[in-house]
Chains A and B, each alone.
Chain A
Amino acid sequence: MAVTEHPPPPPSPPVDEPELLELWEDAPGIPGFLSTVDHKRIGMRYIYTCFFFFFVAGAMALVMRGQLAKPNADLLGPQLYNELFTMHGVTMIFLFNTPVLAGFGNYLIPLQIGTRDMAFPRMNAFSYWVFLLGGIFMYSSFFVGKIPDGGWFGYTPLVSRTFSPGLNIDFWGLGIVFTGLSTTVGSINFIVTIFKLRAPGMTLNRMPIFVWSMLVFSFMAIFAVPAVTLATGLNELDRLFGTSFFNPALGGSVLLYQHLFWFWGHPEVYILFVPATGMISQIIPTFSGRPLSGYLWVAGALVTVGFISFGVWVHHMFATGLPPVAMAFFSGASLIITIPSGVQFFAWIATMWKGRVRLTTPMLFGVGFLLIFLLGGITGVMVAVLPFDWQVTDSYFVVAHFHYVLNGAVVFPIFGAIYYWMPKMTGRMLSEKLGKLSFWVMFVGFNVTFFPMHILGFLGMPRRIYTYDNGLGWGGLNAMVSIGSAIFGLGTAITLFNWLWSRWRGVPAGDDPWDGDSLEWSTTSPPPHYNFASIPLVASRHPLWDQRPLPFAESGPEEDTSGLGSEGAVARETPVTSGIDTRPEGNLEIPHETYLPFVVALGLAALFVGLLIKAAVVGVVGVGLAVVAVLWWSWRTEEDLT
């Protein structure tokens, strides 16, 4: 960082805060709820909705563990069991993990890069409504008793009309196409926001690692989501309109489906994992009291992982009889992807090594993440070894492996992030005592649940079976797994209680309860609707540690710089800056509340309902509604400034 003799510019003059607040505030009540475009409200909404789905899917897991606790149990029949494991996977991937990270990104990115909202606030609202309606769409299957039952991955031909004639699969297939739209729109928004709205001085090499990770998340989603949309979408064409993409009798290929699905599916693992590590890369330095070691290494590792993850999808298909040469290539790529993760891992260790670690609750979740991900990463290397994968794929060993990665190495950071950032979001601290208790119960429960699954895999237990025989010697370990899952569930419930309790009883957090380094800690908790009356000026990777007091910009005389200071906030504008050197380029008007995003999302939902129930009228009305709203949107609101 440039240390020169120049004194920092004086802080901006005080602004009339009540007036600003009134200018930026949403309408009260339900109208404001449906029409808000505030990234913070939308981000909170994402987080709350996702956690609702998290606990629903967790409850499903507990019921399944009840069924598997002993041999030949009859708590669930095969049909219901298949429905539950399908919806558990679908919910955790599509309705919890992916959107909850988008929720944190929504809330935090504008704060961390020092701007007043996302680049496309209305698209932001739209992506939330699509996600919510997509979730409702899939869960409405419970009310008509046609719950998806083909597995979250839905391999054809099992999910073809021949072998699954019911609506069950359509709820799943159409639901995935629909929610994929939300991820895509959200990712476009993140990319443009990160490239065009960073505060002056926040060059790429000064962005917080979480922003880097959401940038990688977004680019990966942009390139990966089309594959799953096509996999499930073409399958729906086969189901609804009788095409034959995946019908081998008419020249189709069932392996094509698997290629498409995993071309998204493996990057998706990293789409989830990368932002989780981004959270860890912010938590560990804060509680080690020093900057992250090897910042450029870590940022580079995130980008590298993003690229390599597109070259490993075939390792999900090692048992499909592909030519050995092809499999050896993907086996190799799957081994190599370990290296960027190793780089990140030792950057975290180095950070703690030379710092002074404060074992707060977020940090405990960080350390728990390290210990769990270490094992999940090691077993990940193992399953990349082709002949070993032939044995363990589709066994409980793989169930253990991916829960170590997707639960241990993604959910633990997310829980850490709740404890770390929720005080900023709500203005109140969560209880440290309950938080630590929750962590230890979760950590013990997690390992008691998922470690024995490795051994069950060795003992020959395949995935996705609703029961097993007494004579197979799997009973004892399964009982242990079930007990562990109850403990883990209890641990998550403690955090849920803590979270709700803190809303009313939590100690006020203040602006910066953890002595954090990034810009979100410079504003109040919770932040005002406009985030920053004046935009902060950044001169370091750690502005709150290195720039005291933090300088804020003043509005300049030119049109391009008028949005920097509090005059920009008064005009409901936020400055646009050049992508590389962050010089002001003009202003982006922050739109007022509007129902249009909600209406467009509703119209699209009607289209999907129309496809589901094969009612052309509903679909056409939906498309019509969406088109009218989009035309209105493009007509009414736009200033066309360049």
Chain B
Amino acid sequence: MTAAVVTPGITRPATRRSYPTAWWGMAVLIMTEAMVFVILLAAYFFLRAASKEWPLAGIEVPKLELAVPFSFVLWGSSLPIFWAEAGIRNGNVARLKAGVLISFVMGASFLAYTLYDFNDLHFGWRDNAYGSIYYTIVGLHALHVFIGLGMNVVIQLKAWLGRYDHGRYASAEVFFLYWHFVDAVWLAVFPALFLSPHIR
């Protein structure tokens, strides 16, 4: 029997800092969530390919006047998060508070736009398959924005109550990742649902 010997120094601390386990958990959760959207978008194009007209039954193509600016608001809401993240890494809780708050306002305005859009549409999700898939994808994304805003509130509360400092901000980091994901999903959903029907 060969005697294998432990590599010297294997118990010395790692030289590079890594993310907390909760962050990795969120990263894997995002993989499965991303898959949900990938499959829904595939279903969208599957239904579209099977139909003679799209959108179905004379529904007008999505309007872009508000969709474009508010999409940029949502994507832009990742910037204050990057800024806040850089801040808290150096122990700057004030920047964390400010960045997260700005991001909240931007995210909330996007959510308000989505609700306005739903109210404004001339078709329902029962009308036909186009309505069903449109409302489902946009609605599911809006639900993600809503959950992200809820997480945002928790993070702000924790920040205001002084629970974060230089070495303690794991939950904030988990939220940052989630919020970037919510924005990234829209990078796929917006071109597919709002732009592609304009191309015939």
Instruction: Give me the interface of A with B, judged by CB distance under 8 Å.
Output: 1-9, 119-120, 123, 184, 187-189, 191-192, 195-197, 200-201, 222-223, 225-227, 229-230, 234, 237-238, 241-245, 247, 250-253, 256, 259-260, 263, 537-540, 543, 545-548, 551, 553-554, 556, 558, 560-561, 564, 576-579, 581-585, 588, 631, 634-635, 638-642
Contact = CB atoms under 8 A, between A and B. Distances in A.
B61 interface: no
Given A230-B43, A640-B163, A642-B20, A546 B170 contact: no
A234 B168 contact: no
A581 B10 CA distance: 8
B171 A640 contact: yes
Given A3-B5, A241-B125, A583-B10, 7 more contacts: A1-B4, A6-B6, A223-B32, A226-B36, A244-B127, A244-B132, A635-B154
B47 A252 contact: yes
Contacts of B136: 234, 237, 243
A256 B21 contact: no
Contacts of B130: 251
B6 A551 contact: yes
B183 interface: no
A201 B10 contact: yes
Interface residues of B, number: 61
Given A242-B126, A250-B128, A546-B1, A537 B43 contact: no
B5 A222 contact: no
Contacts of B36: 226, 229-230
A563 to B, nearest CB: 11
Interface string B30-51: 0111011001100100110011
B25 interface: yes
B3 A546 contact: yes
Given A243-B136, A256-B46, A584-B14, A638 B171 contact: yes
Query: Which 6 residue pairs are nearest across A and B when measured between Cβ atoms?
Result: A251-B129, A540-B4, A243-B132, A560-B13, A583-B14, A546-B4
Contact of B125 (A188, A243, A578): A243
Given A191-B28, A201-B10, A638-B170, A547 B43 contact: no
Contacts of A260: 39, 43
A237 B140 CA distance: 13
A634 B10 contact: no
Contact of A547 (B4, B8, B18): B4
A184 B32 contact: yes
Most A C-beta atoms less than 10 A away, residue of B1, B11, B126? B11
A5 B24 CA distance: 38
Given A226-B36, A244-B128, A253-B129, A561 B24 contact: no
Contacts of A230: 36, 39-40, 43
A248 to B, nearest CB: 9
A309 to B, nearest CB: 15
A192 B51 CA distance: 43
A201 B32 contact: no
Given A243-B132, A585-B13, A119 B21 contact: yes
A584 B18 contact: no
B43 to A, nearest CB: 6
A263 B11 contact: no
A635 B151 CA distance: 11
B11 A537 contact: yes
B51 to A, nearest CB: 5
Contact of A3 (B4, B12, B50, B132): B4
Given A3-B4, A227-B39, A547-B4, A188 B132 contact: no
A552 to B, nearest CB: 10
A245 B132 contact: yes
Contacts of B17: 585, 642
B57 interface: yes
A229 B36 CA distance: 9
Contacts of A243: 125-126, 131-132, 135-136
A538 B4 CA distance: 9
30 contacts: A2-B5, A7-B5, A120-B22, A123-B25, A184-B32, A192-B21, A192-B28, A195-B24, A223-B31, A238-B132, A242-B126, A243-B125, A243-B131, A244-B127, A253-B129, A539-B6, A546-B3, A547-B5, A556-B11, A576-B21, A581-B14, A584-B13, A585-B14, A585-B17, A634-B154, A635-B158, A639-B170, A640-B164, A641-B20, A642-B168
Most A C-beta atoms less than 10 A away, residue of B21, B46, B47, B126? B21
A301 B51 CA distance: 41
Contacts of A120: 21-22, 25
B119 interface: no
Most A C-beta atoms less than 10 A away, residue of B1, B16, B132, B169? B132
B28 A641 contact: no
B4 A2 contact: yes
B28 A245 contact: no
B29 interface: yes
B10 A588 contact: no
Contact of B133 (A242, A245, A263): A245
B138 to A, nearest CB: 14
Contacts of B40: 230
B103 to A, nearest CB: 18
Interface string B103-132: 000000000000000000000011111111
Nearest to A227: B39
B170 A577 contact: no
